[in-house]
């Protein structure tokens, strides 16, 4: 049976302290009511269900835990995540998965601007749309968008791989559409399965870096 923590009665600081020195592996958090920094910095193999909406930086710096938000999430959900799984059953605000190094972030609904900004190895699967500047400066990892993508997708991208099923409003600097080979179909199918999605990998297009921004060029100095 899960250990219950009611945030209507218990401060978030006490919740996080309990999760950092856990005496149980399964936790249920009630009445988050938009609280910030819920379930941050978890280092153990815990299962945490949050029943309601959360504010900023939920599950930030997560390691190994499986955190499910049964509602919407504010700015920076799973920010700087290292491993584990974070799932948002609703929508996510901007900068979801920012700077995350590993693990899997699943957003069942839409994600706002800058989803996956400066991602460094995380896998992100979004069931709906993503906003502008998503995967900006994405260094490594995979972003899967089952809906549409906003302006400047993948701006200043490094080596992150982007898969989009719907329309892309515009591509950012140095981001280009790339060939969808068998290896990409296989990895995308694996990601969709891991996220509990049933979309067909063949319906997606792949985007990546054109690698034109890797080196300084003297004839472009006025643009820097």
Give the domain ranges of the chain: 1-84, 94-213
Instruction: Check residue 212 and give its pLDDT.
Output: 85
pTM beyond 0.75, yes or no: yes
**Would you give per-residue pLDDT tens digits along the chain (224 residues)?**
899 999 999 999 999 999 999 999 999 999 999 999 999 999 999 999 999 999 999 999 999 999 999 999 999 999 999 999 999 999 999 999 999 999 999 999 999 999 999 999 999 999 999 999 999 999 999 999 999 999 999 999 999 999 999 999 999 999 999 999 999 999 999 999 999 999 999 999 999 999 987 766 666 666 55
d(CA 217, CA 223): 10
Bridge pairing between strands 140-145 and 85-88: unpaired
Instruction: Check residue 222 and give its pLDDT.
Output: 64
d(CA 207, CA 89): 26
d(CA 182, CA 179): 10
The Cβ-side half-sphere exposure at 33, using a 13 Å CA radius, reads 8
Contacts of range 190-197, beta carbons closer than 8 Å, 24 or more positions apart: 191/123, 191/125, 191/142, 191/144, 191/163, 192/125, 192/144, 194/104, 194/123, 194/125, 195/104, 195/106, 195/125, 195/127, 195/144, 196/106, 197/125, 197/127, 197/146
Instruction: Check residue 213 and give its pLDDT.
Output: 79
d(CA 120, CA 123): 9
Instruction: Check residue 152 and give its pLDDT.
Output: 98
């Amino acid at each position: 049976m899960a250990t219950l923590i009611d945030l209507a009665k218990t401060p978030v600081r006490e919740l996080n302290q309990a999760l950092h020195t856990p005496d149980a592996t399964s936790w249920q958090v009630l009445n988050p009511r938009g609280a910030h920094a819920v379930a941050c910095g978890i280092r153990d193999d815990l299962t945490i269900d949050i029943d309601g909406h959360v504010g900023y930086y939920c599950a930030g710096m997560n390691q190994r835990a499986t955190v499910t938000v049964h509602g919407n999430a504010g700015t920076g959900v799973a920010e700087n995540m290292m491993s584990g799984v974070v799932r948002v059953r609703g929508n996510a605000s901007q900068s979801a998965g920012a700077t995350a190094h590993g693990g899997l972030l699943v957003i069942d609904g839409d994600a706002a601007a800058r989803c996956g900004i400066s991602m460094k190895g995380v896998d992100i699967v979004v069931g709906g749309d993503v906003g502008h500047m998503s995967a900006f400066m994405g260094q490594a990892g995979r972003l899967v968008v089952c809906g549409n993508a906003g302006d400047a997708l993948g701006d200043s991208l490094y080596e992150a791989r982007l898969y989009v099923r719907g329309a892309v409003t515009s591509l950012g600097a140095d981001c280009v559409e790339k060939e969808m080979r068998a290896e990409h179909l296989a990895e995308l199918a694996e990601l969709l399965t891991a996220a509990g999605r049933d979309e067909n990998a063949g319906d997606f297009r792949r985007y990546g870096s054109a690698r034109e921004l890797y080196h300084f060029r003297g004839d472009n100095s006025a643009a820097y």
